[in-house]
A and B are shown apart, each in its own frame.
Chain A
Amino acid sequence: MNRQDLQKIVINTLKSIAPEIEESELMPDQLLRDQVDLDSMDWLNFLIGLHERLKVDIPEADYAKLVTMEKLLNYLSGKIDGTGS
């Protein structure tokens, strides 16, 4: 999966939680939860959505690595490559 496809899945998952977001306004290097106003329930549902769509495990201990869109995409690409899919 290339980066654009992955980003599309991430954005679509995010929109299922927060339909009002504008993709063009998301800063890749700024804190995602500040930009999108996700509470911990939204955040968990977002990660569950990613888990279901991408079949990757996201341990809670890794949450701190996922704070910006850029870091999230890096993490997910690594996971997808690592599992060989």
Chain B
Amino acid sequence: MINFTLPSLGADMDEGKLVEWKIKPGDSVKRGQIVAVIETSKAAIEIEIWNDGTVHELMVQPGQTVPVGAVLATLLAPGEKAETAKPAPEVPAEAATMPMPPAAKPSIVPAAASAGRLRVSPAARRRAEEVGVSLEMLVGSGPDGAVTLEDVERAVAGKEKPSQAVPAGHQTEMRKAIAAAMSRSKREIPHYYLSESVPMQKAQQWLAAANEQRVIQDRLLMAVLQLKAVALAARKFPDMSGSFSNGEFMPSSAVHVGVAISLRQGGLIAPAIHDVADKTLDDLMRDLTDLVKRTRAGSLRSSEITDPTITVTNLGEQGVETVYGVIYPPQVALVGFGRITDRPWAENGIISAMPVTTASLAADHRVSDGHRGGLFLAAIRDLLQRPEEW
């Protein structure tokens, strides 16, 4: 028997409320399948399962709030029979009774914050759309003011006079979550910082030519080229991509790039685009568009929050020249790109105006040194000079 427990979706998350099961006893499930929706203090998250098997028993009912590590459901492993399987333990009041094997357990990343403009459970959102209730008008009764299905039903029944939601509470929670993650980072990770000027003329020309051929819906953003360049470089520098926990660094063969996405009402979250090095720029653009949309709507999947192996931030959008990043634990590196500006550039004894960005690296000294970091940044710079070869 396999216990499916409530994963931690952030350094400060200690409990979650089950909103919805997407499985029932007897269903076959596959690793990676979305099986439940959990509401945390920051957002409703679609939870993926990490084992193949058959659902034996659902231990928690929608509406119940349980601690991280509590058994949500029991599964029969492939080939296992219910009669012979060891009975599932009682739902514990504290922590996991039977930890999953490390390889199957999602790593814990402080999901800085994932509230969109409003915290709404997916079930509530769907119902509200069906009946035409404006979510902005509801006061949520879920964790930290999240709007739940019950709130929508109450509004439909007219038992509750709609009033203004209180976004101030969301902001406070998000700021607390970011503070917890960043404090842990600054406390535990001996950061070092490097930066490198990267000429962007070739990448800009390549992008302009590529976009000229495309209808507007298919156009690429420079951010996508930067993500891909970082992922390709990270594949050659495994000490930049992975996770550091329990005193040990585990490099990741897959490069899942966390993308720092700022939310309009403040705060940010850096969910992952998976396997960035292996994807085409068109696929990455689609993934990025989708991810930004879902992040701002507050509908992310658990794996997107828990498994980035390196983060990229693009504060140049807001006009800064250089980013001095703070690493998201348990990751070990963060790459920042500043604004692309024309600067005097000397090459072959000639000075000309060149569009240049500053690429910066914040990396973990427990895992790598400045020499490696410098080579990593140089690899990113070189990759951005020849996007046509990717």
Query: What chain A residues lie within 8 Å of B212 (beta carbons)?
Result: 59-61
Closest to B218 in A: A48
Residue of B nearest to A39 (CB): B317
Residue B216 contacts which of A20, A58, A61 (CB distance < 8 angstroms)?
A: A58
Q: Does A47 count as interface, using CB distance less than 8 angstroms?
A: yes
Q: Residues of B contacting A44 with CB < 8 Å?
A: 216, 219, 221
- A61 to B208, Cβ gap below 8 A? yes
A23-62 vs B, CB cutoff 8 Å, 1 = contact: the mask equals: 0000000000000010111001101100100000111110
Query: Is A18 an interface residue, CB under 8 A from the partner?
Result: yes
Closest-CB distance, A50 to chain B (whole angstroms): 9
Residues 33-84 of B contacting A (Cβ, < 8 Å): none
Q: State which residues 282-330 of B face A: CB under 8 Å.
A: 288-289, 292, 314, 317-318
CA A53 to CA B131, docked complex, whole Å:
27
Flag if A39 contacts B262 (CB, 8 Å).
yes
Chain B residue numbers with a CB within 8 Å of A18 are 264
A59 contacts across to B, CB distance below 8 A: 212
Taking the closest CB of chain B, its distance from the CB of A55, in whole angstroms, is 12
Flag whether B163 is at the interface (Cβ < 8 A): no
Instruction: For residue B354, give the distance in angstroms from its CB to the closest CB of chain A.
Output: 18
Q: Which residues of A lie under 8 Å from residue B314 when comparing CB positions?
A: 39
* Chain A residues within 8 Å of chain B by Cβ, number: 17
Known: A39-B318, A58-B216. 6 other contacts (CB 8 A): A39-B262, A39-B317, A40-B222, A44-B219, A60-B208, A60-B212
Q: Are A48 and B216 in contact (CB under 8 A)?
A: yes
Q: Is B348 an interface residue (CB 8 A)?
A: no
Residue of B nearest to A50 (CB): B216
Q: Chain A residues with Cβ under 8 A from B141's Cβ?
A: none
Rank and list the top 5 A-B pairs by shortest CB-CB distance, nearest first: A39-B317, A60-B211, A51-B216, A40-B221, A41-B292
Q: Is A20's CB under 8 angstroms from B288's CB?
A: no
B265 sits at the interface (CB 8 A): yes
Q: How far is the CA of A39 from the CA of B315 in the complex (A)?
A: 10
Q: How far is the CA of A48 from the CA of B216 in the complex (A)?
A: 6
Q: Given A39-B317, A40-B223, A41-B292: A57 and B265 within 8 A (CB)?
A: no
User: Among the interface residues B216, B292, B317, which one has the most CB atoms of the partner chain A within 10 A?
Assistant: B216
From 190 to 227 in chain B, residues with beta carbon under 8 angstroms from any chain A beta carbon are 208, 211-212, 216-217, 219, 221-223
Judged by a CB distance under 8 angstroms, whether A82 is at the interface is no
| Residues on B with beta carbons closer than 8 Å to the beta carbon of A45 | 289
Q: In this assembly, does A19 line the interface, its C-beta being within 8 Å of a C-beta of chain B?
A: yes
12 inter-chain pairs at a CB distance below 8 angstroms, sorted by A residue, are: A37-B318, A39-B262, A39-B314, A39-B317, A40-B317, A41-B223, A41-B289, A45-B289, A47-B216, A51-B217, A58-B216, A61-B208
CB distance from B171 to the nearest CB of A (A): 13
Q: B95-129, CB under 8 A of A: which get 1 and which 0? A: 00000000000000000000001000000000000
Residues of B within 8 A of A48 (CB): 216-217
Determine which of A20, A40, A61 lies in contact with B264 in the assembled complex, contact meaning CB atoms within 8 Å.
A20
Within 8 A of A (CB), among B262-291: 262, 264-265, 288-289
